[in-house]
Amino acid sequence: METDNNQKTAVLWGGRTSNKPEEAAFAFQASIHIDKRLAQEDITGSRAHVKMLGKQGIIPPQTAAALDGELECIALELERGTLHIDENAEDIHSFIEGELTARLGTEGRMVHAGRSRNDQVALDFRLYLKNSVPCICKELDATARVLLNCAEEHLDSIMPGYTHLQRAQPVTLAHHLCAWVSGIARDLERFYDALKRLDECPLGSGALAGSGLPLDRAMTSAALGFTRPTINSMDAVADRDFALELASAAAITQTHLSRFCEDIVLWASEEFKFIDLDEAWSTGSSIMPQKKNPDFAELIRGKSARVTGNLITLFTLLKGLPYAYDKDLQEDKEALFDSLDTVSTALKNFRGMLASSRWNIERMETACSGGFLEATDAAEYLVGRGLPFRNAHEIVAHIVRECIENGLQSIAECSLDTLRRHSPLFNADIFERLHPRACVAARSLPGGPARAAVICQIAELRARLDSLNGRAVQEN
């Protein structure tokens, strides 16, 4: 049989076709520019595979040792930068196998026994994610902790809470930040959950139908740190649920960041002025000399478009794909890598931007007066005195209307007589209840904005982060 003399650039399937595709066509179907990222995982997988081949007597033990040793060298050389990935290779699997064969000759040609690039790429992708997703989890955890530390400093910094972007009821900055962290804690849990289902080893599934060679799938699975081998060989090469799940976790995370950043963009405006972004985390305008723009927050918001897009890419890619492997699947990595990279840098930038910002707490407190944010509390006062809530709502609505007609800014500016005209249930103690701080203090239910309630939330969120991270240490 003829073999390509230049082992390094030979395609792995050269024996089947008499003509190599034209250069541009070859480049079109190649994936090295994306999957070169999987180089170390590819080598790790191959090392486990050759050891197993040796142990099972499929290749001579000394060949297994030689392959394993050479793979280790290639890994080190790549790491040190003394070996460069050849971008003319078809994909990372071809490059590594080509390199082995160029160095070891016939022995190199034994590495692929009982294996296909279909199970190989499924393995490499999973191994890569097992290594890289915990880094995103660390970013999420660090971000949550920065926010919780900030919350701890602002337990008494009152600010308006909004619905419909209209001032609704007073809350605190700490309460608002804990709302954000609640979302991040769920994100963290979603990533860990996806890792749990990803933790099965596809090696030994071959192209789709396994292998007639006496492979030991349990051995490679354990050696590579998986909980178990995948159940079905066709599923193992066709399945990309793990990519969908992680792309979804990434899209939800980025959507959270986008919403947080929308808050920040609003708060940084002259109209709100709740936050002063550090100059190092803002940009100017090329024409308007006075501008200090919240570009970082805007861009984090903007990048949610591509992360959501990547999720849709993956769904569209998988929809209608016949079992088992199809080359379409090669498109999976670019989308997921981009999502994970984007989320990871967005988290770093979000954290840096927030940690260097100054909060304008006087301005936030001032914004709590003047918008009748105490109205619900006035109604609840009447409910406390036995009035049905609907009546109380109506009475307070009338008081608010009257205040607006008379140019008053708050219910507290009414006299007790005026209030009593609306309801005899009002007593002098109503005025203590109308101050924004009193409104916050009254909302002391679990989950509410009162100081003690938020202290509990911070503790609960920290405990949740700890237990999620504990779980990561246990499982990885």
Q: Which residues are catalytic?
A: 164, 285
| b/e 235-247 (16+ beta carbons within 10 angstroms → b) | bbbbbbebbbbbb
Q: Smallest distance from the beta carbon of 221 to ligand ARG, in angstroms?
A: 20
Q: Report in angstroms the alpha-carbon separations of 91 from 33, 42, 210, 371.
A: 8, 11, 22, 62
Residue 79's CB: how many other CB atoms inside 10 A?
11
Which of the ranges 257-265, 323-331, 381-389, 392-400 carries the binding residues for ligand ARG, by CB under 6 A?
323-331
Q: Smallest distance from the beta carbon of 31 to ligand ARG, in angstroms?
A: 4
Q: Report in angstroms the alpha-carbon separations of 299 from 77, 277, 408, 450.
A: 37, 15, 41, 33
Q: Smallest distance from the beta carbon of 305 to ligand ARG, in angstroms?
A: 25
Number of residues that bind ligand ARG (CB under 6 A): 9
Q: Which amino acid is at 212?
A: G
Which H or E run contains 141?
helix 117-153
Residues 15-34 as x/- pattern, contact with ligand ARG by CB under 6 A: ----------------x---
Looking up tokens 């080359």 gives 327
- CA 205 from centroid of its chain's CA atoms: 30
Of 117, 240, 256, 301, the residue at the interface with ligand ARG (CB under 6 A) is 117
Q: Which is nearer to ligand ARG, 49 or 117 (CB)?
A: 117
Helix, strand, coil shares of the chain as percentages rounded to 5?
Answer: 65, 5, 30
121 near ligand ARG, judged by CB under 6 A: yes
357 near ligand ARG, judged by CB under 6 A: no
87 within 8 A of 35, measured Cβ to Cβ? no
φ and ψ of 439, to 5 deg: -60, -40
335 near ligand ARG, judged by CB under 6 A: no
Residues 216-235 as x/- pattern, contact with ligand ARG by CB under 6 A: --------------------
367 near ligand ARG, judged by CB under 6 A: no
Q: Which is nearer to ligand ARG, 40 or 182 (CB)?
A: 40
Cα separation of 344 and 19, whole Å? 43
327 near ligand ARG, judged by CB under 6 A: yes
91 near ligand ARG, judged by CB under 6 A: yes
Considering only residues 416 to 455 of the shown chain, the ones binding ligand ARG according to CB under 6 A are none
φ and ψ of 22, to 5 deg: -55, 160
Q: What is the DSSP letter of 284?
A: -
Which of the ranges 95-103, 138-146, 208-216, 325-333 carries the binding residues for ligand ARG, by CB under 6 A?
325-333
Of 131, 330, 391, 444, the residue at the interface with ligand ARG (CB under 6 A) is 330
53 near ligand ARG, judged by CB under 6 A: no
Q: Smallest distance from the beta carbon of 205 to ligand ARG, in angstroms?
A: 12
Which of the ranges 19-27, 140-148, 281-289, 327-335 carries the binding residues for ligand ARG, by CB under 6 A?
327-335
Residue 150's CB: how many other CB atoms inside 10 A?
18
151 within 8 A of 181, measured Cβ to Cβ? yes
Q: Which is nearer to ligand ARG, 36 or 301 (CB)?
A: 36
Cα separation of 317 and 453, whole Å? 46
Binding site for ligand ARG (CB under 6 A): 31, 35, 91, 117-118, 121, 327, 329-330
